[in-house]
Amino acid sequence: MSSSAQTRSPPAAAQGPRRLPSVERLVGGAAPEALAAYGRTAITEAVRAVLAGIRAEGASVPDESALRAAVAERLVAERRPSLRPVFNLTGTVLHTNLGRALLPRSAVEAVAAVMGQASNLEFDLASGARGERDDHVESLICRLTGAEAAVVVNNNAAAVLLVLNALAMRKEVIVSRGELVEIGGSFRIPDVMVRAGCRLREVGTTNRTHLRDFAEAIGPRTGLVMKVHPSNYAIAGFTAAADPDALHGLCRERGVPLADDLGSGSLVDLAAYGLPPEPTVRAALARADVVTFSGDKLLGAVQCGIVAGRKALIARVRKNPLKRALRVDKMTYAALEAVLRLYLHPERLAEELPTLRLLTRDRAAIAARARNLAPAVADRLSGSATVSVADCISQIGSGALPVETLPSAALVLTPDAGTGDPRRGAGGRCKRLAERLRTLPVPVIGRISGDAILLDLRTLEDEAGFLDSLAALQPRG
Ligand SMILES: *Cc1c(COP(=O)(O)O)cnc(C)c1O
């Protein structure tokens, strides 16, 4: 904002402390470009906030150009979106705090296409009658998994809640004690059962559950038998679980549906891509009546939860009033449909689907990229940190395959002595550098390991953008 000379302002004389200019004076002096960009209302609010801050601090009053600069800075900061892109170089491919799966371009375009325009979300273009929103993806899900029917809800936690409520309200749900897990903070199977209006009936022990444990527990009050993928932990040693086929047979014999919460639920055999094996949805459906899985874990699409399985059971799930409360937006269907279509072309899946592309990158290729990038990164960090290359371990993340890790390579940033808070030593220097990396135009998020920050390059695709962002690193501090 430019300052304007105004006659009623007192001369900048050295008589006593400077007084704060009026709001009108600062707003009136705003540059026309600033007025056009931000508008008078926002500028007035920013001026008021800056003046109020100075009054509250009781600090000495800065001169008018400093005040105008503070207002301009505030306006720029206010305009910066809260939710924005970052570089996830943590080594966790599906990082829940960093947005999980990345959408392929085709999905981004599909979302953009339906966002600003009307769409046939619940409208059957052939008949002109009302349609079902799940119709846009149901047949694709069935084709890719062998399910008879499917519904989509807000996330997999919602899918589990809905299945429990629709199939077993006021009834018992039988679960092995080894599968009563907590997943990612607040999703605990026993708590979800209560909220769904079901009674949990635990069978077996933490490490061993047998078919006969289920056989003895199934009775007239049973609504559902449920299996839960342990996701983020593993039981090793003296363990046993009921044979899945035998358990399915038992449930069928007793007329009780069997649900399997897969959590991640891959649509393809990961072992065929050289990755650790994970049950596919199709395989799980051969041994269960209903399965639930996430849209933004290994599937690689958008946040949603999918319930797939037998037609009659899915019909009950769809009719449940909670389905309306847990339903998803048109943008979710657009993204999910586009991603599911990629699975129809499996020959290209590992290239086209970002999650699979990142998971299947091999260590040698990542290490070669790290060596190529290191000099340019060192240049941008000069005076702040030294840069080297080292092997590291990536994780799939989001609870998928917790004990399996992927060999990878990282840039190792070792902060220079003399940066950061000298009282806090190497740890303090690392924390300070990590903070500075978070303030970049596109923040760079790595992980601290010992006295260095590791930037795992498995998940780096936009190298030019990464170097651009690093170039904005402020001088060391
Ligand atoms: C991740 C997970 C969930 C929750 O899925 P969200 O999509 O995060 O809601 C539920 N069950 C299992 C077994 C999981 O791994």
Residues 61 and 121 in one domain: no
In a domain, 233, yes or no: yes
DSSP 1-38: ------TTSPP---SSSPPPPPHHHHHHT--HHHHHHH
In a domain, 130, yes or no: yes
Q: Whose CA is nearest to atom 7 of ligand 1?
A: 156
Per-residue pLDDT for the chain (477 aa), expressed as one digit of tens each? Answer: 444 444 454 454 455 678 889 999 999 999 999 999 999 999 999 999 999 999 998 878 889 999 999 999 999 999 999 999 999 999 999 999 999 999 999 999 999 999 999 999 999 999 999 999 999 999 999 999 999 999 999 999 999 999 999 999 999 999 999 998 887 667 888 899 999 999 999 999 989 999 999 999 999 999 999 999 987 777 888 888 999 999 999 999 999 999 999 998 899 999 999 998 888 999 999 999 999 999 999 999 999 999 999 999 999 999 999 999 999 999 999 999 999 999 999 999 999 999 999 999 999 999 999 999 999 999 999 999 999 999 999 999 876 565 668 999 999 999 998 766 667 788 899 999 999 999 999 999 999 999 999 999 999 999 999 999 999 997 655
Residues 40 and 110 in one domain: no
Residues 279 and 403 in one domain: no
In a domain, 12, yes or no: no
Q: How many alpha carbons lie under 13 Å from residue 288 in its C-beta half-sphere?
A: 27
In a domain, 178, yes or no: yes
Give 401 Cα–ligand 1 centroid separation in angstroms: 13
Residues 374 and 343 in one domain: no
CATH number of the structural domain spanning residue 177 = 3.40.640.10
Residues 374 and 338 in one domain: no
Q: Which domain holds residue 302?
A: 105-348
Q: How far apart are CA 140 and CA 336, in angstroms?
A: 10
Residues 364 and 337 in one domain: no
Residues 288 and 183 in one domain: yes
Sign of CA dihedral 146, 151, 155, 156: negative
Give the pLDDT confidence score for residue 278 in this predicted structure. Answer: 87
Give 150 Cα–ligand 1 centroid separation in angstroms: 17
Q: Whose CA is nearest to atom 8 of ligand 1?
A: 156
Give the pLDDT confidence score for residue 401 in this predicted structure. Answer: 60
Q: How many alpha carbons lie under 13 Å from residue 303 in its C-beta half-sphere?
A: 15
For the CA of 230, the nearest atom of ligand 1: 13
In a domain, 7, yes or no: no
Give 178 Cα–ligand 1 centroid separation in angstroms: 17
Residues 199, 172 contacting (CB under 8 angstroms) = yes
Residues 342 and 420 in one domain: no
Residues 327 and 362 in one domain: no
In a domain, 10, yes or no: no
Give the pLDDT confidence score for residue 26 in this predicted structure. Answer: 94
In a domain, 475, yes or no: no
Residues 192 and 216 in one domain: yes
Which of residues 348, 377, 399 is at a domain's end? 348
In a domain, 6, yes or no: no
Confirm or reject: Cβ of 263 under 6 Å from ligand 1: yes
Residues 131 and 241 in one domain: yes
Number of compact structural domains in the chain: 3
CATH number of the structural domain spanning residue 455 = 3.90.1150.110
Sign of CA dihedral 109, 113, 116, 120: negative
What pTM was computed for the model? 0.91
E strands of 160-230, at which residues?
A: 172-176, 182-183, 187-188, 199-203, 222-228
Confirm or reject: Cβ of 183 under 6 Å from ligand 1: yes
Q: Whose CA is nearest to atom 12 of ligand 1?
A: 263
Give 183 Cα–ligand 1 centroid separation in angstroms: 7
Residues 195 and 240 in one domain: yes
Q: Mutation test of ligand 1: which of 92, 98, 163, 231 has the most ligand atoms closer than 8 Å to its C-beta?
A: 231
Which of residues 348, 381, 412 is at a domain's end? 348
Q: Whose CA is nearest to atom 3 of ligand 1?
A: 263
Output phi, psi for 441, to 5 deg: -50, -45
Give the pLDDT confidence score for residue 276 in this predicted structure. Answer: 87
